[in-house]
A = this chain, B = another copy of it.
Amino acid sequence: MQLLKDRIMKDGIVKDGDILKVDSFLNHQMDIPLIEEIGREFKRRFEGEEVTKILTIEASGIGIACITAQSFHVPVVFAKKSKTKNIAGEVYTTKVESFTHGITYDVIVSKDFLKPEDKVLLIDDFLANGKSLIGLTDIVKQAGATLVGAGIVIEKGFQEGGKYLRDVMGVRVESLAIVESMSVEGGVVFRD
């Protein structure tokens, strides 16, 4: 998606430790018209696919998921990073290791909101090592629902998540910008 790549080139900041800061338009301050274009692009990528629910994970996926849902005309469900013990039986639970924060979360979704008949599109802002997205696919599996695919705004193509999800897990992953490499000195290079 050229509009997105142009914006990353213009406003993205590469920091040491493979960090790509896009917090001026995507995940701290949010440029709503850009995210509307992102939502429409996800709809084009998954045109013809039946989707009944969009599933994302708090926090930075939520806004993108909500605006994408306007193109798909379906509800959003966001998985919660649990801080409290939950009663077994009421929720699907999976564990997600956070690279950024160095801890493992319990991630939960109420069983009321994902059913075997659901056809689920996953949406998230970033795909890097894939831990969040793998956790969400696990929740879809626990629900017995159908996984349609995953729509990702920015994929760090030099990390293993995208390859693992596509090649090993067989998930259709549509990333709107895939970073092939990046460095503080050289900036961002996109795949293709």
Q: Which residues of A come within 8 Å of B, CB atoms?
A: 23-24, 28-32, 35-36, 58-60, 62-63, 65-67, 69-70, 73-78, 80, 83-84, 101, 103, 109-110, 112-113
Chain B: minimal CB distance from A90 (Å): 11
A67 partner, pick from B58, B66, B78, B101, beta carbons under 8 A: B66
Chain B: minimal CB distance from A149 (Å): 20
User: Per DSSP, are chain A's interface residues mostly helix, strand or loop, or mixed?
Assistant: mixed
Task: Please report the C-alpha to C-alpha distance between residue A109 and residue B30 in the assembled complex, in whole angstroms.
Answer: 13
Task: Please report the C-alpha to C-alpha distance between residue A101 and residue B78 in the assembled complex, in whole angstroms.
Answer: 18
Q: Is the CB of A112 within 8 A of B76?
A: no
Q: Is the CB of B30 within 8 A of A78?
A: yes
Q: Is the CB of A76 within 8 A of B30?
A: yes
What residues on B are CB-neighbors of A23 within 8 Å?
110, 113
Task: Please report the C-alpha to C-alpha distance between residue A152 and residue B113 in the assembled complex, in whole angstroms.
Answer: 24
Between-chain CB contacts (< 8 Å), 30 pairs: A23-B113, A24-B112, A24-B113, A28-B77, A28-B109, A28-B110, A28-B113, A29-B76, A29-B110, A29-B112, A29-B113, A30-B66, A30-B69, A30-B77, A30-B78, A31-B75, A32-B70, A35-B66, A58-B59, A59-B62, A59-B78, A59-B80, A60-B62, A62-B62, A62-B63, A63-B65, A63-B78, A66-B67, A67-B70, A83-B101
Task: Please report the C-alpha to C-alpha distance between residue A30 and residue B53 in the assembled complex, in whole angstroms.
Answer: 10
Task: Please report the C-alpha to C-alpha distance between residue A36 and residue B75 in the assembled complex, in whole angstroms.
Answer: 12
Task: Please report the C-alpha to C-alpha distance between residue A69 and residue B23 in the assembled complex, in whole angstroms.
Answer: 17
Task: Please report the C-alpha to C-alpha distance between residue A101 and residue B29 in the assembled complex, in whole angstroms.
Answer: 26
Task: Please report the C-alpha to C-alpha distance between residue A30 and residue B75 in the assembled complex, in whole angstroms.
Answer: 6
Chain B: minimal CB distance from A31 (Å): 6
Chain B: minimal CB distance from A124 (Å): 13
